Structure 1
Amino acid sequence: MKHPSRIPGSRWLLLLLMLGQAVLAQAAQITVRTDRNPVPLDESFQIVFSVEGEVSGNPDFSVLEKDFQVLGTSRSLRTTFVNGKIQRTNEYLVSAMARRPGRLTIPPVSFGSDASPALTIQVLPASTAGAAKAGKADVFVEATVDSEAPYVQQQVLLSVRIYHRIQWREASLSEPEFRGGEVLVEKLGEDRNFQATRNGAQWNVIERRYALFPQSSGRIEMDPLVLNLRVPSGERKARNRSPFGDPFFDDFFSRQTYTRKVVRSGAITLQVRPVPATFSGDHWLPARKVKLEESWSAPLDALKTGEPVTRTLTLIADGVSLGQMPELTMPELPGLRIYPDDPETREQATADGVRSITTRKFAIIPVHAGEYRLPEVKLKWWNVTSDSEQVASLPEHLLKATGAAARPVLPAQPGATSKPPHPGQLTPSETQAIPTISLPVAGRLPGGIDRWLLLGNILFFSLWLVTLVAWWRARRRGRSEAAGAEDSPLAEKLREQPLWKALHEAAGSGDAGKMRQAVLALAPLLWPEDPPRSLEGMARRVDTPLSEQLYRLSRRLYGDGGESWDGGVIEAELKKLRASRKSQPGESPRALQPLYPRA
């Protein structure tokens, strides 16, 4: 009676053994190796993951990114016969490059619930691997800067040179990327090709230049630039010789093979200094050279009341981006009517980097006969070459107006887009921090003027001024209505949504550089006609607590970095400001007040 009861138990035991063998047979075996060890820091290498059996998922190579740069991945299937049985092995190849020298561990890579073992490799430092650059390599990259300790917002020239003595295919060079702070990057001109001698050998050189503008003080690191290219492998697949007897066709018929190569430059560290305490200017302007120029359309001692004269101001700055250029303005004072044109700006690439030029014209109309004194104009700036404060200036001028015109004459507009003065007129394309140069004007009336003549002049001028203002307001209203007709509430909401999302994310991240970008991106939305281009410019247009937080954010970026700021307050106050703009569409935003030079 007991014997039959033991049969099911034996069967269950046999079944469990068979299932165990099946599981063992299907269990994946993962091994990892590299194509060489040790590995030079500046050279790529292959990590090979071999998988025998079935794995439960695809590999996750993201764990390699901590110590290695993953350049590419591929997969192949290798089939072999072992003891008369077919054995299939999946191989995953990862092309990688170490981020630092030393003993580095290739961490376990998960394949679903399976994982590869860890592997330790030795990475040689750049100095050891750099023997190739002394003459053994066919390609290498050098990156240098003209200053490793610049001031905040100072131009830094980055030169990238590719030395080569072989022909390549499909080459690409990465763009500069930075960690530790925001850096504005501008490419200077086209690449330059020339030849140079290095270590007694002749090299072909490709040079690419950039202008860098660090936007915050402290330590900023530039990652190595990566050159990806395909170079001849030195192996040729045999074919019949070209029948044309030409080296080009010889290469085609011999089927020259190419292999992928990755070359990196060295890393660069910038120790960015804050604004020096000895700088006494109202606004920070680091430059190589600054010059103010002016011209007049008529002699200043023979002006007539009611007739315009045009003053053209030009500011030229070397080593300064357009966003850093101050705005040229003239305040309107009793006795003179001043009508500014829109500023004209342009940027040039020179041997010394970026040169920015701003030109603005002003139509000036004397209302009364008399003398008007334009005081000297001073702009303080920081000479980065001599590491000292300097002053660019224009001399004072005496304007003499006599008589009265037969009838008031409309101002000879300096440009087709001239319009009545808007203090702080800005162009929407400019987005960086700008100070303001104001040109104060003093005027006086001489005695002995005929009362009827004076009243007649005032009457004619008043009628002319009313006509001009009515024309300007009608033109502005027409533009606003046209713009309003094109924008539906839905389109407006869709356009604004990404801007507010970026502001919210920047406020939550605590990144001062990102917060600055997000805030200034909203400026054209809040001030469509003349958006401020700097945090300080925006702070002058708003009330506390928003103005206080904007000033704090500016000092955090351009000071010693110790100032605290509240992104939540900035976000909330800007939303309130936007809501008030929508509820009062006809109300003009508070104008940017001109900043006068210090006495």
Structure 2
Amino acid sequence: MALNRRWPNALLALLAWLPLIGVAQQPQQEEVAFIELSASEDEVYVQQQLHLTVKLYYTNQVIQGQLNDPEHPDAVIEKLGEQKQYRELVAGERYRVVERDYVIFPQKPGRLQLPPLDFQGTARDPRGHHYRIADSAVLFPVTVKDIPASFSGRTWLPATDVSLGASGLDRTGPVQPGDNLTRTLTLTARGLPATTLPALHINYPDAIKSYPEPEQRQSSAGADGVVGELQQTMALVPVSDQGGDITLPEVRIPWWDVVEDREKVAVLPARTIQLASAPVAAETPRPTAESFDDGKGNEGTEQEASPAAPTQWVWPILVALLAIGWATTVAAWWLQSRRPPPAIAKREGSGNETQRFRTLCDQAKALDPAFFNGFPAWAGELTAQRCRTTDEALDILSDKHLTRVVDVWRESLFRSAGGAAPDGNELASALKDARRKWHDRVSKGQRDGRALPDLYPEGLNP
């Protein structure tokens, strides 16, 4: 009976150890990959720019994954620039980081709550076994305020800065009736896309007619977010013949400064141009040559005989000089063709470039994401050109096979499209082919550079 009483206690102790054993066999998921979210504001106006930063931290155990983009039915969300990749030390653990920046423009006042951002991927444990990982993060709720009742403008423009400028009309002095003048107005807003900027309608005085061209809008991404620009070019033609001053009216664009939380006005001051009176018709000049009649009804003018120009000897000298130059060029070409071409040394990579290339090939075979950090540096050292991104490196090398394989790999890594990863050996082979082709192009360029250019332009050789 004593033995039976001890048996349940031993069984309970064993069951208590089982969860701990299970945890030891499966790595802690939060140590492998996790998401971090941050936003520039927790309270914004409707249509005001909100800057969202998404960071995915992952270790070398992660071999592929997919991170979705934020979305919301009551907000316009746009990606800001290209994603960044770097390394960061967190709590003594070295992580790789994928950082994405977004700008969010809430379209309705109230409470904006973005859906969770999810990451799903595959990791590999030290024994080579694959297992699924996942993480999710939610941004804090953002309060969206309505348009203030005190705003006086027709178009709501919440921004950090709005400016209005003009160019053209550089002519000094009075302008003549009928002159075609050009004026370009530029409206720039920091924190707003170009599509939200109002059109520039100006009521010009009756003394001048305006003919506007289609407006040009463009948005650009900067460190502080989106910058929208609207350009309006118009032709201005004075039509009055009375002369005097013409005043181009002042232009005012109200906007809301989200930093100081108050209304401001972008102002283009009035511009005055001076209009000359219509010129009086001038008297028809009297011809200096006497009229004659050839007897057939055709009138003409009798031209005065000019003395013979003392430059008749110039043309023979020019022809002789051209002939001498042509003969010199032909002789130089003949002598160059008779000279044996010098040996062209095969360009080999430097020791540093060679070591970088070997490391890059090893990373390619293992499909190590560190490849994307070293690839631009190696391509820049190989080609002696400035190279900071993967796309710049691919453009410089101009190898279709390498570009295709790298694009397939990038699509499989942290892109919303997802997809299967490429074969590492194929990637390393494409890398070697691209390097060899670059050396061949350099050698060919050296050989071509030693030859004199053709005597005729391309396509006109006899």
Q: Equivalents in 2 of 1:382, 1:330: separation in Å?
A: 22
Query: Does the 8 Å contact 2:220/2:226 carry over to 1?
Result: yes
The residue identity in structure 2 corresponding to 1:378 is R
2:42 aligns to what? 148
Q: Secondary structure at the match of 1:304?
A: coil
Q: CA deviation at 1:297?
A: 3.9
2:132 aligns to what? 260
* 1:169-208, Cα deviation, whole Å (9 max, x unpaired): 3311112123xx6100110111011233333443322110
1:302 aligns with 2:174: yes
Q: Equivalents in 2 of 1:264, 1:196: separation in Å?
A: 20
Q: Equivalents in 1 of 2:258, 2:222: separation in Å?
A: 17
1:160 aligns to what? 54
Q: CA 1:380/1:342 → structure 2, altered by over 3 Å: closer, same or farther?
A: same
Runs of 4+ in 1 over 6 A off after TM superposition: none
Q: CA deviation at 1:285?
A: 0.3
Query: Does the 8 Å contact 2:204/2:249 carry over to 1?
Result: no
Query: Does the 8 Å contact 2:219/2:226 carry over to 1?
Result: yes
* 1:477-522, Cα deviation, whole Å (9 max, x unpaired): xxxxxxxxxxxxxxxxxxxxxxxxxxxxxxxxxxxxxxxxxxxxxx
2:194 aligns to what? 322
Residue from 345, 348, 351 that aligns with 2:223: 351
Which ranges in structure 2 are unaligned for 5 or more consecutive residues?
Answer: 1-17, 20-27, 282-462
Q: Equivalents in 2 of 1:405, 1:338: separation in Å?
A: 23
Residue from 255, 263, 277 that aligns with 1:381: 255
Q: Equivalents in 2 of 1:392, 1:200: separation in Å?
A: 51
1:57-76 equivalence runs, <5 A? none
Q: Secondary structure at the match of 1:275?
A: coil
The residue identity in structure 1 corresponding to 2:39 is V
Q: CA deviation at 1:145?
A: 1.0
State which structure, 1 or 2, has the greater radius of gyration over its C-alpha atoms: 2
Q: Equivalents in 2 of 1:301, 1:212: separation in Å?
A: 49
Q: Equivalents in 1 of 2:173, 2:153: separation in Å?
A: 33
Query: Does the 8 Å contact 1:223/1:268 carry over to 2?
Result: no
- Give the TM-score normalised by structure 1: 0.40
2:104 aligns to what? 212
RMSD: 2.3
Identity, in percent, stands at 32
Q: Secondary structure at the match of 1:357?
A: strand
- Give the TM-score normalised by structure 2: 0.52
Query: Does the 8 Å contact 1:146/1:158 carry over to 2?
Result: yes
Q: CA deviation at 1:302?
A: 2.1
1:190 aligns to what? 82
2:334 aligns to what? none
1:203 aligns with 2:75: no
Across the two proteins, how many residue pairs are aligned to each other? Answer: 254
The residue identity in structure 2 corresponding to 1:194 is Y
Q: Equivalents in 2 of 1:404, 1:218: separation in Å?
A: 62
Q: CA deviation at 1:155?
A: 0.5
1:9-28 equivalence runs, <5 A? none
Q: Secondary structure at the match of 2:53?
A: strand
1:277 aligns to what? 149
Q: Equivalents in 2 of 1:229, 1:304: separation in Å?
A: 72
Residue from 211, 215, 221 that aligns with 2:113: 221
1:360 aligns with 2:232: yes
The residue identity in structure 2 corresponding to 1:155 is Q
Q: Equivalents in 2 of 1:383, 1:299: separation in Å?
A: 36
* 1:315-349, Cα deviation, whole Å (9 max, x unpaired): 11111012211112323542111000111111111
Q: Secondary structure at the match of 1:272?
A: strand
* 1:298-324, Cα deviation, whole Å (9 max, x unpaired): 326421110111111111111101221
1:406-555 equivalence runs, <5 A? none
1:101-116 equivalence runs, <5 A? none
* 1:515-568, Cα deviation, whole Å (9 max, x unpaired): xxxxxxxxxxxxxxxxxxxxxxxxxxxxxxxxxxxxxxxxxxxxxxxxxxxxxx
* 1:129-163, Cα deviation, whole Å (9 max, x unpaired): xxx79xx6121101111112110000000100011
Higher relative strand content: 1
The residue identity in structure 2 corresponding to 1:384 is V
Q: Secondary structure at the match of 2:120?
A: strand
Query: Does the 8 Å contact 2:32/2:61 carry over to 1?
Result: no
Query: Does the 8 Å contact 1:330/1:338 carry over to 2?
Result: no
Q: CA 1:223/1:406 → structure 2, altered by over 3 Å: closer, same or farther?
A: farther
1:372 aligns to what? 246
Q: CA 1:405/1:156 → structure 2, altered by over 3 Å: closer, same or farther?
A: farther
Q: CA 1:388/1:198 → structure 2, altered by over 3 Å: closer, same or farther?
A: farther
Q: CA deviation at 1:405?
A: 6.9
Q: Equivalents in 2 of 1:357, 1:405: separation in Å?
A: 41
Q: CA 1:355/1:339 → structure 2, altered by over 3 Å: closer, same or farther?
A: same
Q: Equivalents in 2 of 1:401, 1:198: separation in Å?
A: 71
Q: Secondary structure at the match of 2:195?
A: helix
Q: CA 1:140/1:338 → structure 2, altered by over 3 Å: closer, same or farther?
A: same
